[in-house]
Chain A
Amino acid sequence: MQLMGRQSWLFDRRPVILATGTVVGPFEGQGPLAADFDHVHDELSIGQDSWEKAERALFEEAAQLAAKKAGIAMDQVRFLVGGDLMNQIISSTFAARTLAVPFIGVFGACSTSMLSLATAAMLVDAGGAPYAMAVTCSHNATAEKQFRYPTEYGSQKPPTAQFTVTGAGAALLGRSGSGPVITAATIGKIVDFGVKDPFNMGAAMAPAAVDTILAHMNDLNRSPDDYDLIVTGDLSKVGHRLALELFAREGFPIDKTVYSDCGMMIYDYEKQNVQAGASGCACSAVVTYGHLLNRMKKGELKRILVVATGALLSTISYQQGESIPCIAHAVAIESGVN
């Protein structure tokens, strides 16, 4: 593993994504990517008696699916790297209690998917573990409850609001084997342009995404055309538009690749009332580990850069009038055998 430039890692051993597990709720099952997920639940409650339990059940299921698909017992997984949106990341810690795997808890809000993947890749690449797993989850109702209003409360959401994805995504990494490989990662820095509206997180996060993408290209001396696809995590319509505008102003040739956003892919804007699009830790996790890796397997994509974006606010910070600090972490994934 090498440090490249200021904030990027180049993985010499190219850790392999041996298998992934993706589970989602019923609403995500009605979206256009339903066929890419391992399991679509019929009920938002996931058969549990509280939303919080439902969320951790998703985490456990995704982790177990990934291990099962790779044909590896859970106790062979040396480290579990995970996080979620709940206070004190309880979904991940409670699920890790069940899974009984040494656990590294991380918090990066919705950027947790790529933060955990980069951390797990670093572990495997550095020889710290033969197998490591990155998992993250989110649940629409727990996020509504913790960050906004009670789920059944009648308030109108503005068109900039985003809909938190119910689901969990897990990626099992190994030193060798067949599957897509992780070649590089860029850890983002906190970027805060003073946006305060928690109902417009796309706008708050767009500068962080652009900052990390520019840093990635600078550090690794790459350009957009080195990738078949660059996706941001959950900027959705408003943030995606702003990111494009920022790229243009920096003179960055984003048009040389396909630039998309996971938050705009998982739901059907025509049929599903999700305002600007999707958000949540699970958004970039299930879209990447389900849909995008499937496209890689089919040979439609060879090299992608996934840039998961996180809004690091709390209910207390925004009620005290603070702006929203944001972050984005990028991971480069390539198809190939190691």
Chain B
Amino acid sequence: MAQNRKKPPGKKPPGRGVSLSPEEYRTLAKQAEPKRNAFANAVRAFLVGGLICVIGQLVQTVYIEWFGFEKKEAGNPTVATMILLSVLLTGFGVYDKIAQWAGAGTAVPVTGFANSMASAAIEHRSEGFVLGVGGKMFKVAGPVIVFGTVAAFLVAIVYMMFHPELIKGGK
């Protein structure tokens, strides 16, 4: 049983147990991970993300051409329609399947955000409307809002410091 036993330096319980050190094992474990195909993943994300945007553009054009919206006004109903589509796909259990294939492609802001909220709302519905749906709806989307707001605030400060008119006004 003891043929070709390697004794790496470091801690080893006598006679039994795994003699590899945790560091050596973690290196081994890293090597054993199947490689993700980053290129294929990026191509799929590009295609699906782009397709979602094309659909959004079509919806916007429909609002402008058929329903007589101004280009500026067409944005809101377009976003609402995209949210509805995403929530429907989430509810029918399709969105997560698309996401497994598309990777970051389905994380594009409007539909991805809607999916994160709808999925959490569905999941926690059994815990009640207030503490379940209300309390946990932002479980996944919450950090996006928090850090989005913080980032916007920081950008606004930088903008204020360097904006020529505001600087002049300050003097």
Q: Of the listed stretches A128-136, A189-197, A281-289, name the one at the interface; the rest are far from the partner chain.
A: A189-197
Tell whether A249 is near chain B: CB-to-CB under 8 Å: yes
A107 smallest CB distance to B (angstroms): 23
Q: Is there contact, CB below 8 Å, between B126 and A52?
A: yes
For the side of the interface on A, what is the size category?
35 or more
Task: Find chain A residues with CB under 8 A from B22 CB.
Answer: 192-194
Chain B's closest residue to A44 (CB) is B93
Of B27-35, B58-66, B75-83, the one with at least 4 CB within 8 A of chain A = B27-35
Interface status of A155 (Cβ within 8 A of chain B): yes
Residues of B within 8 A of A (CB): 1-6, 15-20, 22-23, 25-26, 28-29, 32-36, 41, 90-91, 93, 95-96, 98-100, 102-104, 106-107, 112, 115-116, 118-120, 122-124, 126, 139-140
Nearest first, the 9 closest Cβ-Cβ pairs linking A and B are A154-B99, A150-B123, A50-B126, A150-B119, A152-B119, A251-B5, A203-B29, A153-B119, A159-B34
**A206 CA to B1 CA, complexed, in Å:** 20
Q: Please tell me if the beta carbons of A200 and B29 are within 8 angstroms of each other in the complex.
A: yes
Q: A152-B93, A154-B96, A273-B100 are in contact. Are A253 and B1 (CB under 8 A)?
A: yes
Q: Please, what's the 1-or-0 string for A120-159, where 1 marks a CB less than 8 Å from any CB in chain B?
A: 0000000000000000000000000100011111111111
**A223 with B118: CB separation less than 8 A:** no
Interchain CA distance A122-B119 in the complex, whole Å: 44
Known: A158-B36, A215-B17. 14 other contacts (CB 8 A): A52-B126, A149-B119, A150-B119, A153-B116, A154-B106, A156-B102, A192-B22, A193-B25, A203-B32, A214-B18, A238-B33, A242-B28, A251-B3, A252-B1
A238 to B126: give the CA distance in the assembly, Å. Answer: 35
Query: Contact between B123 and A152 (Cβ–Cβ < 8 Å)?
Result: yes
Using an 8 Å CB-CB cutoff, how does the interface string of A229-268 with B read, 1 for contact, 0 for none?
0000000011001100110011111000000000000000
Q: Shortest Cβ distance from B124 into chain A, in angstroms?
A: 8
Contact call A150/B122, Cβ cutoff below 8 A: yes
* Cα(A49)–Cα(B140), bound, Å: 23
Could you tell me which A residues sit within 8 Å of B by CB distance?
Answer: 49-52, 145, 149-160, 191-195, 200, 203, 206-207, 210-211, 214-215, 218, 223, 237-238, 241-242, 245-246, 249-253, 273, 276
In whole Å, how far is A51's beta carbon from the nearest beta carbon of chain B?
8
| Separation of A50 and B35 alpha carbons in the complex (Å) | 36
Contact in complex: A154, B15 (CB < 8 Å): no
A193 to B90, CA, bound (A): 38
Given contacts A155-B99, A156-B100, contact A215 B33 (CB under 8 A): no
Are B4 and A191 within 8 A (Cβ)? no
Q: Is the CB of B20 within 8 A of A246?
A: yes
Separation of A195 and B28 alpha carbons in the complex (Å)? 11
Which residues of the partner chain B approach A151 to less than 8 Å between Cβ atoms? 96, 119, 122-123
